[in-house]
Amino acid sequence: MAISAPGVGSNLDVNGIVSQLMTIEQRPRDLLDAKEASYQAQLSAYGQLRGALSALESAVEGLADPTRFEKRSATAGDTSVLSASAGAAAANATYDVAVTQLAQRQSLTTAGQASATSAIGSGASTVLTFDFGTISGGTVSNGIYTGASFAPNESLASRTVTIDASNNSLQGIRDAINAANIGVNASILNVGGSNPYRLVLQSASGASAALRIGVSGDATLASLLAYDPAGSQNLTQTVAAQDATLTVNGLAITSGSNNVTDAIQGVTLALAKVGTTSVTIGRDPTAAQQGAQAFVKAYNDLNTMLHDLTRFDATGSSSGALVGDSAARTIQSQLRNALSSALAGGNSNTLRVLSQVGMSFQKDGSLTLDNGKLAQMLTTDPVGVARMFASGGVASDSLINVAGSTSATVPGSYAVEITQLATRGQLIGSAAAQLTVTAGVNDVLAVNVDGAGTTLTLPAGTYTAATLAAQVQSLINASTSLRTANSQVSLSESGGVFTLASKRYGSASTVSVSGSAAASLFGAAPSATAGTDVAGSIGGFSATGSGQRLTAAAGSPTIGLALDITGGSTGSRGVVSFARGYAARLDGLLQGLLARDGAIASRTTGINATIKDIGSQRDVLNRRLTDIEARYRKQFTDLDTLMSSMTATSTFLTQQLQQLQSSGK
């Protein structure tokens, strides 16, 4: 009879014996599990380290921005009169400001209508022409001018809106004007009464933005909307256009807007009411201090993390996940060296070590920041502090600006030689412009600027050379296609001859015209020339020109150094000194560490490969353990069967001997 379960026949604990033997056999797998857990901990540690390095990189990028150190503050003594803001170009000073009048927008209102949605007129196509200009002379009573004149604003082109059967209601007219985006705001007011609805038109602020509205088409619309302050006025003025007037340190200033940007260089004054106040301009160190504090915190967080991850505990109970890891130690060493070594003096900056601006290392490797010392340095030498952190250069020639650099640019001082200045593409007329524009005869002008084209229709009329040039320039620059292409022009006249020039410099700068107005504006044979790129060398090495920008080419120590040559002459143009600050130095190091092929990625790739290999070893070992367990189980099951058989034989023989003994007796 077969044994149905291990140990049943012999009482041998086969399962227990096999289990104990397999515990011993599984020790290599337990070692692999422990090793894998260690590598998984290292992988997690490198993930934490990557996060801390990324946080430090963000803080470093903040310090690498030189504009952070150029912030200015503008403080008004009486903020109810005005508020002020200052840019980097503002100079430290205190100004006395007296606001005597606020700018306001002209407001015109139509006669009342019974309905805002009912059609007005026949629905025939009607063109509304909006002119902007200055009303002067005469008198105004109840919103109507008598004896006044209207002078068009040469810098604001006439704009048109078409009204037809689809939009010839008050609401339709309002929506058409607003959709045209012509600088006029339209709205509808309900003032009550039998004809409560009135269309209200508002121009931009300023005395030179008053409206004149011409209506060509439906007579009913003309009787509602035509408005000429020097003639027939079918709308009523409820608010007159006027400029803001103020004095700054006693000097009179006029502004078409209550946001005055050109009174004090680099300062914007937001006028709120008539009154007097002081405005104080000073340096604002807040942004720079916040950037420095964020950098110190990010570095200390990283330093603490590296200390914890590489900490050694003799008992082994609290050692860091990266204890003994060479990559972690290298990262720690590289960061410390980058911050503790002095900067090169390529831009003649006297600030070359962090301790000069209040940053210093402690015994535990952390950074400390003396905010008082940093604030003092930001006050006495803000440019030096900016150069200490950000990469930058200084040109001895005021018409050369350092526009950029690369991580490969070598700090140093380099001579600049200019062999060709950049020019703009232009078109010079061959004869004086005809000053009368006739609809359908000489009113269409097609213009191509820097490869972008537009076609415009000139308003019919008789102009002066100056007003016609201003009108054409305004219409060209208002083109959506040219604005999208960032292509603009300037149109000047001398003796009635027009010169049309692109505002872009370089070989890509071109201007051409065609259409029925081309010959009347520029003559039969205008002269067109394309722009040229700047050319020259930096540090004795030929550089590449694009527009006004000269960029050092590969193969030179100045590679990537970009200079904007904004004027001057050809020949020797002095030197450019370039230095790399701590932020730029750290940024390059951190980018390398965090790159796809950097130290962090290489280390985690190696760890992942090791974990994968451990998994393969475990699979092989598991298959081996399965075979070993099967062999042990068979061996002890066979032993159990044998012992059971021997036990049965022993019992049988014992019984037989007992019977023989009984028979003998």
Summarised one tens digit per residue, pLDDT across range 33-63 is 888 888 888 888 888 998 999 999 898 888 8
Q: Is the pLDDT of residue 189 over 90?
A: yes
- In the prediction, which pLDDT does 348 show? 52
Confirm whether 305 is domain-assigned.
Answer: yes
Question: Residues 115, 238: one domain?
Answer: yes
Confirm whether 25 is domain-assigned.
Answer: no
Number of helices (H), then strands (E), in the chain = 13, 37
- In the prediction, which pLDDT does 460 show? 84
Residues 6+ apart with CB under 8 A from 345: 352, 579
Question: Residues 364, 398: one domain?
Answer: no
Question: Residues 113, 238: one domain?
Answer: yes
Question: Residues 237, 109: one domain?
Answer: yes
Predicted confidence (pLDDT) per residue in 70-105, tens digit: 788 899 999 999 999 998 788 889 999 999 999 999
Q: Is the pLDDT of residue 12 over 80?
A: no
* Helices 286-309 & 382-389 angle (0-180, nearest 10): 30
Confirm whether 20 is domain-assigned.
Answer: no
Taking residues 542-565, what's their average pLDDT? 92
Give buried/exposed letters for 12-40 (b at 16+ CB in 10 A, else e). Answer: bebeebbeebeeebbeeeeebeeebeebe
Q: Is the pLDDT of residue 152 over 50?
A: yes
Q: Identify the domain boundary among 511, 529, 547.
A: 529
Question: What distance in Å separates the CA atoms of residue 432 and residue 167, rounded to the nearest whole number?
Answer: 43
Q: Residue 226: name the closest of 211, 206, 246, 247 by CA.
A: 211
Question: What distance in Å separates the CA atoms of residue 249 and residue 44, rounded to the nearest whole number?
Answer: 64
Q: Range of 508's domain?
A: 424-529
Report the 10 Å Cβ neighbour count for 393.
27
Helix, strand, coil shares of the chain, percent, nearest 5, are 35, 30, 35
User: Whole-angstrom distance between the N-terminal and C-terminal Cα of the chain?
Assistant: 35
Q: Identify the domain boundary among 529, 556, 591.
A: 529
Question: Residues 238, 315: one domain?
Answer: no
- In the prediction, which pLDDT does 1 show? 38
Residues 6+ apart with CB under 8 A from 285: 71, 374, 375, 378, 379, 382
Question: What distance in Å separates the CA atoms of residue 461 and residue 467, rounded to the nearest whole number?
Answer: 11
Question: Residues 456, 487: one domain?
Answer: yes
Q: In what helix (H) or strand (E) does residue 184 lie, and over which residues does it extend?
A: none
Task: Supply 244's token pair.
Answer: 């803001």
Question: What distance in Å separates the CA atoms of residue 409 and residue 579, rounded to the nearest whole number?
Answer: 9
Question: What distance in Å separates the CA atoms of residue 241 and residue 237, rounded to the nearest whole number?
Answer: 9
Confirm whether 254 is domain-assigned.
Answer: yes
Question: What distance in Å separates the CA atoms of residue 390 and residue 403, rounded to the nearest whole number?
Answer: 13
Give the start-end residues of each E strand in 177-300. 185-190, 197-205, 210-216, 236-239, 244-248, 251-255, 259-260, 267-271, 275-283
Q: Residue 511: name the closest of 388, 423, 386, 394 by CA.
A: 423
Question: Residues 98, 186: one domain?
Answer: no
Check: CB of residue 579 under 8 Å from CB of residue 387: yes
Percent of the chain with pLDDT over 70: 97
- In the prediction, which pLDDT does 345 show? 56
Confirm whether 307 is domain-assigned.
Answer: yes
Q: Is the pLDDT of residue 270 over 70?
A: yes
Question: What distance in Å separates the CA atoms of residue 186 and residue 401, rounded to the nearest whole number?
Answer: 46
- In the prediction, which pLDDT does 116 show? 95
Question: What distance in Å separates the CA atoms of residue 468 and residue 459, rounded to the nearest whole number?
Answer: 10
Confirm whether 369 is domain-assigned.
Answer: yes
Q: Identify the domain boundary among 521, 548, 579.
A: 579
Question: What distance in Å separates the CA atoms of residue 236 and residue 226, rounded to the nearest whole number?
Answer: 11
Question: What distance in Å separates the CA atoms of residue 411 and residue 408, rounded to the nearest whole number?
Answer: 9
Question: What distance in Å separates the CA atoms of residue 68 and residue 378, rounded to the nearest whole number?
Answer: 11
Taking residues 154-164, what's their average pLDDT? 86
Predicted confidence (pLDDT) per residue in 618-644, tens digit: 888 888 888 888 888 888 888 878 887
Q: Is the pLDDT of residue 17 over 90?
A: no
Residues 6+ apart with CB under 8 A from 563: 395, 400, 401, 402, 403, 416, 538, 543, 549, 550, 551, 576
Question: What distance in Å separates the CA atoms of residue 323 and residue 42, rounded to the nearest whole number?
Answer: 9
Sorting pLDDT into bands at 50, 70 and 90, what band is 392?
A: confident
- In the prediction, which pLDDT does 6 show? 53
Domains held by the chain: number = 5
Q: In what helix (H) or strand (E) does residue 337 lie, and over which residues does it extend?
A: helix 326-340
Question: Residues 360, 428: one domain?
Answer: no
Question: Residues 355, 218: one domain?
Answer: no
Q: Is the pLDDT of residue 317 over 80?
A: no
- In the prediction, which pLDDT does 603 show? 86
Q: Is the pLDDT of residue 349 over 70?
A: no
Question: Residues 194, 230: one domain?
Answer: yes
Question: Residues 351, 465: one domain?
Answer: no
Confirm whether 539 is domain-assigned.
Answer: yes
- Per DSSP, the three-state class of 367 is strand
Confirm whether 36 is domain-assigned.
Answer: no
- Per DSSP, the three-state class of 126 is strand
Question: Residues 555, 520: one domain?
Answer: no
